[in-house]
Amino acid sequence: MQLYNNLSAKERTALIEEAGKDRLTISFYKYALIKNTEIFRNHMFLAWDELDVLGRIYIASEGINAQLSVPAENFNTFKQHLDTISFLENVRLNIAIEQDNFSFLKLKVKVRRKIVADGLNDKTFDVTNKGVHVGAEQFNQLIEDPDTVLVDMRNHYESEIGHFKNAVTPDVDTFRQSLDIIEEDLKEHKEDKKLVMYCTGGIRCEKASAYYKHKGFKNVFQLEGGIINYTREVKSKGLENKFIGKNFVFDERRAECITDDVIASCHQCGKPADIHTNCANEACHLLFIQCNACREEMENCCSTPCMEINRLPYEEQKALRKGQGNSNDIFKKGRADHLRANKNLRNINEHFNATQTER
């Protein structure tokens, strides 16, 4: 019985090309008590592998967080399978704005301690006491209110290429870092301001809203279904789209284009650009923004040393990497010191004060 992916990305790409069938990129999450995570994990893998599902799925005792790709012809069967699981029946599925048959190339179903690394002790507060979920129309109304503070719950490399107008965009590398920073910087406004949050698909706001209510914030709201659902809703209802730029996604696509605005810059030359890439040197693999000109000049590398290493025969590169872990720079995602046009996002306090002054 096969319980793990046994094909390489290259082999899977060839199979997808050979099949010539459309695939749908989908994400969903659900907080629910799962008693035996390993058994549940194996059940999901077997069922989805049979349907040719690919993706990255995290399962924990607190629920499931799934980002995946399924053949369009198998979508109904996939949905029917979800509906046989009590806590996943009629779960909201966020279908990607831009489809790509190669968004995922492996099926990875992993058991984790949490479905999102939030660093919180859930036993210290009521995780079910969440904020008010709002759709696109009410969200648009809320963020025009001068008594609203709009906060992006994503990381700096996500908000750098796209965010909502007037949103506070914390300069953080991880979700867990943003929680305390936001509380500290907005501690004087727990009762007199509306705290409105958003993220990619809603999962980070789900836990954060309960946490901030526990911390004393009286008026907490979260965008239902995140940026993905918002984009679909404003289109279907003819509403004003208040998001600018691209929505960063955690698959091979890297991002979905929401508007044509390019609000970021190449991390090497500083010219307008919003395409993330990984350094071609596998010993580095840094995620950063690179324009087409720099991509050609630097051979898809983040630095001259990486370019020189990447030119070596594969076996020599492999020998150099032996026994060495990736540099911590990989987690800086565009803020590595050697990137010439490194651009830090504004401090949350500065942004908050500026937006309140403008209003």
352/182 Cα distance (integer angstroms): 10
CB-count burial class (<10 Å; 0-12, 13-18, 19+) for 320: middle
**216, 263 Cβ separation under 8 angstroms:** no
Q: What is the signed CA dihedral for 273, 276, 280, 282, rounded to 10 degrees?
A: 150
Query: What distance in Å separates the CA atoms of residue 320 and residue 324, rounded to the nearest whole number?
Result: 8
DSSP 3-state percent helix, strand, coil across the chain (nearest 5) = 35, 20, 45
**What single-letter DSSP state applies at residue 94?**
E
Distance separating alpha carbons of residues 187 and 352, to the nearest angstrom: 12
Q: Is the dihedral of CA 232, 22, 199, 300 positive or negative?
A: negative
Q: Is 302 a catalytic residue?
A: no
Q: Which residue among the candidates 199, 279, 301, 306 is catalytic per the annotation?
A: 199
Tokens of 126: 């009521």
- Rounded to the nearest 5°, which phi and psi values hold at 127? -70, -15
Active site residues: 199
